[in-house]
Structure formats: structure tokens, C-alpha cells
A and B are shown apart, each in its own frame.
Chain A
Amino acid sequence: MRLTDFEVKKKGVITEIVDSPVAGKLMEFGILPGATFTVLNKASFNGPIFIQVGANRVMLRRDEASAIIVE
């Protein structure tokens, strides 16, 4: 499942980061395969997704978030 399809307030595990130009940047922010995360919020109108990975909170655009495969 892609992160964009993940439900708000639920916890999940990142299984894979799709190879893409943002992949390196995501990983620098600690968004790595195996990390657990919580979706804090999803903005309406296809807006950004706000997630927490560890103590780190990151806001992602939809296209950035769609590179993250989760379960």
C-alpha cells in the first residue's frame, strides 16, 4: 500500500522507498524501510500528509508520499 492510501491516526511500518529523485531526501529525514510511523493528519483537497517517524515529524506532498510503500 502507498502512504497516500494509509488511514489517518493509524500506525504502520515503512516497507520500501520507491527509487525516485526524492528517495535520498526522504531517507535523510529518517524515512527508512523498517521504520514505524503514525499518520498525524491528511490535508483535504489532495494536500500534504503529516506523519511522525520516531520523534521526527515530517510533512510530505502527495507525490513525495506516494514513493513510500507501507503496511
Chain B
Amino acid sequence: MALVGNPNVGKTSLFNKLCGLNQKTGNYPGVTIDKKRGNFTHENIPFELLDLPGINSLYPNSKDEELVVNYLLNEQGDELPDLILVVVSALNIKRNLYLLDQLRDLDLPVVLAINMCDLAEKRGIKIDEKLLREEFGVEVVKVSARSDQGLKELKDLLLKAHSVNEREPGYIEADNRDLLHQFSKIIHCKNEYRSFLQLTQDLEINQKEEFSKLKKEFIESNKIEVRKWKINESILRYKLIGNIIKKSVVTDKSAADDFTTKADKLLLHPVFGYVFFLLILFSIFQSVFWLAAFPMDMIDAGFSALSGFVADALPSGYFSDLITQGLIPGIGGVVIFVPQIAILFLMFPYWKRADTCPYCLSD
């Protein structure tokens, strides 16, 4: 089973809640898939869960997005998950459902978990999960990884066998469907959306020369405007999702002023934003000195004690001076900076994590 979803929807929190592990969130490029496996059992049935980096869509924009997309589209199939648990945030459901809609067209068994439902209710967002179930044809469950709400329902749902029915491709204009059908036949791909994705972008999984040649010929001979296909996909999907949201999600706007909005106002302020940025940098800088002072004193004392000891042990002369006044203080002078450097480097990952902007198109 694989966990898939947009960045920042609480995939790892849910993963931790299900597996009872304290798995660290990792959003660094090149993190391998194997590192984030977890297990749990429910009603005596063992599950293996894979926590994948967040993706915005099936058009990867960074290394870790590419990793997920290549994984989901791999043709071998033996590595494919039996089930994809798509996690979306109730707070930003329209955009999150875009990915679900794409995954839905891959005809892989999908279960949709709507996370952060408790927060959404507080902010006056009401979601009709039954309607979503009917519209997308997948099982839907509301959860909150924070308050454990809905976790049992989710696990019960995972016990059931899931199959997904093929549906009409809503991501392509009717005029182009024949072309896509032809292309699928040429590359022997059963799933048309999979071939759509392969046609409209260059993926690592089909770097083979014959494939590229085949694709190029197909695109040129049929005068396909790949970018237009992609843009039309977005428009068509959002139209569909917009209609579904209209029916199934009600937002009470009066409750919309929340902590994040207020914090953003201050942190993203044209002047204060920079002030906060400098404050954070300054506090990192200060804490490096402050935290490192203690081990530095110890190292300093240690090296002077060592050179004192050696001076006493050796007969006085050039050799003794070389060691006690040259070698030992020399090495000590370098080693003394190790704590500062170590602490600075230990802080970098946290800085980097805080740095991945939840609002940006790419990092």
C-alpha cells in the first residue's frame, strides 16, 4: 500500500499514526523509497505501508516528485502497490483532488482519505464524503491524523478488496481521443492515461531510444501540440472538480480567519517579513556560538592539559617544544571549531525543511 498526496497534507502524520513509528518527515531530493516503509496489522491482517514524498501532480517538477511518478507508472507491475491511499487536506480540497483525479485515471485501486477534518470543521468547511464517493467511484473516509478521528474506519476500509472501474477519459478533448488511442496501441499500453502521460512528458522510465523515436515520429506526423494537451487536461479536470466541489463542499466564510492567515500577514509583510527572516538567521548564528561555548571550553582545557602532561613527561629540548608548543596547540586550534561547525550543520536540515515553501510552484 502506498501513501500518495500533495505536499503538506499530513501524509507522514497519518503514516505515523497507522504504523506507530516515529518516522521523520523527509523532503530532500533523492530519499529512497525503501527508507520509509512501515508495518501494521489490523484484524490480524498485516499491511505494509509506503510513505512517498508529496507530489503536486503526475507531472514531476523535482527529483522526489520524479521518484514518485516513476514508481507509480512503472510498467513491471510487480513493485506496484496493491492499493494507493490518497491523502488530501480538507482545507485545500479543490487543488488536492486534482491529483486524485489524475490517479483515478490510472485505474489503480484508490482509497481517498480526507485529512484535517477537525480543523476544517472549525473553519466552517463541510464536506459530503458520500457524494465524493459516488462522483469519483472510490472509497472515501474522513480522518484526522491529529485527533485519531476516523482511523478505525480507515483501517476497516483497507481490509476490503478494492477494484476500480475504468471510466471515460475526461482529461482529453473528444477530437484527440482517437490519437491517444492509436498511441496507446503503438506503445502497447493498456491504460490510456498512462500513455497520455508518456506522450506529454519525458519520463525516466521511457528513456529508451526506440521509444523516444517512436514518440517523436508520432507527435510530428500527427501535429500534436503537447503543451496544449497538458493545458487542456488542467482545464478539463478543474472544470470537473469544480462541479463536484460545488455539490459536495460548503464553506462558511465567516469562520475563515484563522491563525495561519494572521501569521502569514505578518511573516509575509513587505517589511516585517525581512525583519523576521533576519531574526531567524541571527538566532541560528547566536545559538551556534552559545551552544558551542561549553564543548569548546572542554576541548581547550583538554588540549592544554595534554600539552602540560607531555611537557612534564618528555625531557626539555627542541623535540618537546615541537610537540607541546607546535603539534598539540596546532591540532587543538582546529579541533576547537568542530562543535560550532557540527551544530551549524545539525541545524541545516531543519532550516531546509522550514524553507520548503508550502505556497510555491516548485522549490
Residues of A within 8 A of B (CB): 17, 19, 22-30, 32-33, 40-44, 50, 54-61, 64
- A25-B362, A32-B234 known; A19 vs B227 contact (CB < 8 Å): yes
Q: What 6 A-B pairs have minimum CB-CB distances, sorted nearest first?
A: A27-B234, A59-B359, A24-B230, A44-B270, A28-B57, A56-B95
Asked whether A28 and B264 contact (CB < 8 A) given A23-B231, A57-B359, the answer is no
How many pairs, one residue from A and one from B, have CB atoms within 8 Å of each other in the complex? 72
User: Quick check: is B238 within 8 A (CB to CB) of the other chain?
Assistant: yes
On B, residues with C-beta under 8 Å from A are: 56-57, 59, 61, 91-95, 98, 227, 230-231, 234-235, 238, 251, 264, 268-271, 273-274, 357, 359-362
Known: A24-B230, A25-B61, A43-B270. 13 other contacts (CB 8 A): A17-B231, A23-B231, A24-B227, A24-B231, A28-B98, A29-B95, A32-B234, A42-B270, A43-B268, A44-B271, A50-B268, A55-B92, A57-B359
Are A55 and B268 closer than 8 Å at their CB atoms?
Answer: no
A19, A28, A50, A56: which contacts B234 (Cβ < 8 A)?
A28
Q: Which residues of the partner chain A approach B271 to less than 8 Å between Cβ atoms?
A: 44
CA distance A42 to B235 in the complex (A): 27
Interface centre among B59, B95, B264, B271 (most CB of A within 10 A): B95
Q: Known contacts being A26-B361, A29-B56, is A55 close to B251, with CB within 8 Å? A: yes
Q: Is the CB of A55 within 8 A of B234?
A: no
- Cross-chain contact A30 with B98 (CB below 8 angstroms): yes
Q: How far is the CB of B202 from chain A (nearest CB, A)?
A: 13
Which of A22, A41, A42, A57 interacts with B361 by CB under 8 Å?
A22
Which residues of chain A are within 8 angstroms of B227 by Cβ–Cβ distance?
Answer: 19, 23-24
> In the complex, what residues of A have CB within 8 A of residue B362's CB?
25
> Quick one: given A27-B235, A28-B98, A50-B359, are A55 and B91 in contact (CB under 8 Å)?
yes
CA A57 to CA B95, docked complex, whole Å = 10
B78–chain A nearest beta-carbon distance, Å: 30
Closest to B61 in A: A25
A42-B269 Cα distance, complex, nearest whole Å: 8
Beyond A41-B269, A50-B268, A60-B361, is A28–B235 a contact (Cβ under 8 Å)?
no
Given contacts A30-B98, A32-B238, A41-B269, contact A58 B359 (CB under 8 A): yes
